[in-house]
A and B are shown apart, each in its own frame.
Chain A
């Protein structure tokens, strides 16, 4: 997954002025500010929510409903059947049950790392930008250095030095968070700088408000959509990163995640023996979950930048208008001929 960075501001010259006037004339009340903070429902957002919700549900409730994933049977590498919806592994374990537990494991670590990484990036990004001056330069340099040093190799090296026995869930989570916060902090810093320079913040500071209060009341509410968007990215990156680690055999020693499943699948020669039911589903879940989160992020983008919503809404109208104009010209040309 690369480059799924949030979009920057477009400058859509549109009929907003005329629309606003027209709306005011019709006597329509403007929407409440809280309603404006929530995204509007679009088919893609709905699809994204279904994906994320469905997989999350699968991870939470699934382990309670499926059979024991660790039971070893004689019937190894069986394709999907009535008894085993997704077939069995090399040692006869039920793939579907494993999938449920693995999804839970991945989601759990994704969430933990997402929260940790967001806290780190918020600290280094927002605080530094707000204080300004040397602190800002220092924090910014720090995040840039961390950004540029390659993440996975660093994680591998750290994991490699920690003895197997001590590689617990929290160790891995902390390591992933430490190597993953840098990109978000750059975005948060840029956003904080732009908000900090706006008039209403300057007014607060001139009026003598304490820094803590200015941050809490003026800056944070405006940062909420961006924070939400960065949190979503952090979760996607965490799940992918952890899956990669587990796949390489370097994950948390006692956990079971989607990456771990793929690790066993590869070591159990699922590929060469053609046991697609073993290695396709785990990766598919990761990809679909990532896709769902990205789609939700598209909608959050529209809150961060309301003009994007206009772009979407106007697309259809633009087509209609262009068509109407073309047909009028052809009609008049035919009439003149």
Chain B
């Protein structure tokens, strides 16, 4: 129990750190974001009242006379009330609504791709690591090439081959725009068709890392004493592979999930850009281009929140599969 409480505590601290970063960054960097923002707002025909200015200053900081700590407190209260400000590039939509429409796309894309990459990578890694010395094993250094490929370049290649040249898949967008979003079969089929190449990009770019990690751990694990015991017990090779070898070898991969997820999130942002996929990543980028600072902040917060939740889930899962974490110190 101690383990789970500790982990939860850690993620709460991390969340607080992210919120604080979000608060500090616009205030620490040069430039006057509120002025730029309001100017943009007026360009789009918005009306600037003192309230509007105050709302943005709360988020981004201005030459308000209130002490920093008071600003911080008000900012936190606002965040917990769900008020992330109003988006400038999608005026007058509040930031939180913009996020709500694009978040599901990214979560589905990244979620599905990561699950596929992990399961395949770990399984392949276990198989290759099980019989060291075969021809498969000598290909291992070649997988480093795969693992070093930049996401966006791979995306470009895939678009070039499958979309432009072979015209098998569409190269832009999340779904066919003539369809209405909703849970109809037509829409879902279209979403899958449009999501196929982005998902393929993420899977190909990340599977190499999982494979290598798992394979290396298998090689280590196979020389452990309990594997020898299992063989002496006359157990079938399949049973040894699953319950003794892979079961232990997979632990560091799960423990290192945070690092892997970091790379996947970065990769998915650029992938969304290449495919103009309507997820959080491309919204973040267009927010930057349009100096829509409030949206930027809100998106960063939600991306971080999603990553923290994912990591928490994986950490809790690790606590389940490795009984040694539950030692009462």
Contacts and interface: CB of A to CB of B under 8 A. Distances in A.
Interface of A: 1-5, 7-13, 44, 47, 141, 144-145, 147-154, 156-163, 166, 183, 236, 240-241, 243-244, 247-250, 262, 265-266, 271-272, 274, 276, 279-280, 282-284, 286-291, 293-295, 298, 311, 315-316, 318-319
A162 to B, nearest CB: 6
B148 A160 contact: no
B25 A157 contact: yes
A9 B259 contact: no
A287 B270 contact: no
Nearest to A240: B150
B13 A291 contact: no
Interface in B253-278: 253, 256, 258-260, 262-266, 269-270, 273-274
Interface in B273-322: 273-274, 284-285, 287-289, 291, 293, 296-297, 299-300, 303-304, 307-308, 311
A21 B300 CA distance: 61
7 tightest A-B contacts by CB? Answer: A290-B148, A283-B153, A3-B209, A2-B209, A152-B266, A10-B220, A294-B144
B150 A271 contact: no
Contacts of A282: 153
Interface of A: prevailing SS: helix
Contact of A4 (B18, B209, B273): B209
B133 A153 contact: no
Nearest to A319: B133
Contacts of A311: 132, 219
Which of the listed residues A47, A144, A156, A288 has the most CB atoms from chain B within 10 Å of its own CB? A156
B30 A145 contact: no
A161 B148 contact: no
Given A150-B265, A276-B160, A318 B260 contact: no
Which of the listed residues B225, B264, B293, B300 has the most CB atoms from chain A within 10 Å of its own CB? B300
B263 A1 contact: yes
Given A157-B25, A247-B270, A315-B133, A288 B156 contact: no
Interface of B: 10-11, 13-14, 17-18, 21-22, 25-26, 29-31, 33, 132-133, 141, 144-145, 147-154, 156-157, 159-160, 164-165, 171, 205-206, 208-210, 212-213, 216-217, 219-221, 223-225, 252-253, 256, 258-260, 262-266, 269-270, 273-274, 284-285, 287-289, 291, 293, 296-297, 299-300, 303-304, 307-308, 311
A161 to B, nearest CB: 4
Contact of A3 (B21, B149, B154, B260): B260
Contact of B220 (A7, A151, A160, A293): A7
30 contacts: A1-B149, A1-B150, A2-B260, A2-B263, A3-B147, A3-B256, A11-B223, A149-B307, A150-B262, A150-B304, A152-B266, A152-B270, A153-B265, A160-B288, A161-B26, A162-B30, A240-B148, A241-B266, A244-B266, A244-B269, A262-B152, A271-B156, A271-B159, A276-B160, A279-B160, A280-B157, A283-B154, A287-B145, A293-B148, A298-B144
Contacts of A47: 141
B22 to A, nearest CB: 8
Given A5-B256, A283-B157, A147 B148 contact: no
Given A157-B300, A266-B274, A315-B132, 7 more contacts: A2-B209, A3-B212, A148-B11, A148-B307, A157-B22, A157-B288, A283-B153
A154 to B, nearest CB: 7
B109 to A, nearest CB: 16
Contacts of B145: 287-288, 290-291
B311 A148 contact: yes
B133 A318 contact: yes
Given A7-B220, A166-B30, A156 B150 contact: no
Nearest to A273: B164
Contacts of A160: 287-288, 291, 293, 296
Contact of A279 (B156, B206, B270): B156
B274 A3 contact: no
Nearest to A144: B10
Contacts of A10: 219-221, 223
A147 B258 contact: yes
Contacts of A283: 149-150, 152-154, 156-157
Contact of A152 (B18, B150, B269, B293): B269
A10 B150 CA distance: 31
Given A147-B262, A286-B150, A161 B33 contact: yes
Contacts of A158: 25, 29
Contacts of A262: 152-153, 156
A153 B220 contact: no
A310 to B, nearest CB: 10
Contacts of A5: 213, 252, 256, 259
Contacts of B26: 161
Nearest to A152: B266
B259 A152 contact: no
B144 A291 contact: yes
A11 B224 contact: yes
Nearest to B289: A249
B288 A250 contact: yes
Contacts of B149: 1, 283, 286-287, 290
Nearest to A280: B157
Contact of A141 (B13, B29, B212): B13
A280 B160 CA distance: 10
B17 A291 contact: no
A244 B273 CA distance: 11
Which of the listed residues A2, A290, A311, A315 has the most CB atoms from chain B within 10 Å of its own CB? A2
A311 B21 CA distance: 46
Which of the listed residues A4, A144, A148, A290 has the most CB atoms from chain B within 10 Å of its own CB? A148
